[in-house]
Amino acid sequence: MAETGDDVTLTFGGTATMLLRIGSFTLLTDPNFLHRGQRAHLGYGLRARRLTEPALQPTQLPALDGILLSHMHGDHHGDHWDRVATRSLPKGTPVVTTPEAARCLADRGFTSTSDLRPWESHEFTRGTDMLRVTSVPGVHGPGPLARVLPQVMGSVVELVRGGDVSWRGYISGDTLYRPILGEVLERCGPLDVLIPHLGGTRVLGITVTMDARQGADLVELLTPPVTVPVHYDDYTRFRSPLGDFLAEVGRRELPGELRPVGRGETISLRA
């Protein structure tokens, strides 16, 4: 577990898998442990081949307070919760996710799921500290495609100490850019960190996660002091590389610091 204190760090496992140590709390996000060359089921007969080695495996994980899962549907979207996660993660670990994904996990024997609808919150407590996770709506597919893709959520994660929010971060989940995401600031307040899921994932020729331009649009909308991009370059269906996002943000001269994190690297999430 993380040391009791106010430190906030991220260890990057690849794709959207992160080990977050937030004060005295430890969270895992979107667990994807498949190895390079293995294929993730995306549903509808579609698969994607992993191009990178994961930097985190279940045997390397500390005790977890919870897992954040942005989306799941049946045995689909294995780049966010794969067969290794189902087999290896403790079934009693609290998982904060969408109602649809919670039902999928219950079918797999996971016994402690919190199904959040947009703007609902789940709270973890330890002593006088609280970690609050608020579900943020997302759009995984444009137009009619939205009806066949799963519910997806982003997460605003807040460390509350002595009744005050001492740190606030937003993990976008697999959403496209939409101006309505500005509600994050209106409902929750200014961010310390933005963690966007990028990659420009394409399914049947349609983009279903933010590419470089959309990611830069989100930075411009939310004006975070620090942006840590994830979910890029790991699978064959990711078509918008990290370098394109860094270049787009630089071209626009957007405010705030870009803080890319290498797979296996641990960085601070403090400004």
Residue 128 class from Cβ within 10 Å (0-12 exposed, 13-18 middle, 19+ buried)? exposed
Which pTM does this prediction carry?
0.94
Q: What is the pLDDT of residue 6?
A: 72
Q: What does the pLDDT look like over 30-83, one tens digit per residue? A: 999 999 999 887 665 678 899 999 999 999 999 999 999 998 865 555 678 999
What CATH class has 8-258?
alpha beta
How far, in Å, CA of 99 to CA of 120, rounded?
12
How far, in Å, CA of 43 to CA of 177, rounded?
23
How far, in Å, CA of 86 to CA of 188, rounded?
32
Q: What does the pLDDT look like over 181-220, one tens digit per residue? A: 999 999 999 999 999 999 998 887 889 899 999 999 999 9
Tell me if 267 sits within 8 A of 228, measured CB to CB: yes
Q: What is the pLDDT of residue 3?
A: 37
Tell me if 1 sits within 8 A of 66, measured CB to CB: no
Average pLDDT of span 133-147: 81
Q: What is the pLDDT of residue 1?
A: 29
Locate the domains of the chain by residue range.
8-258
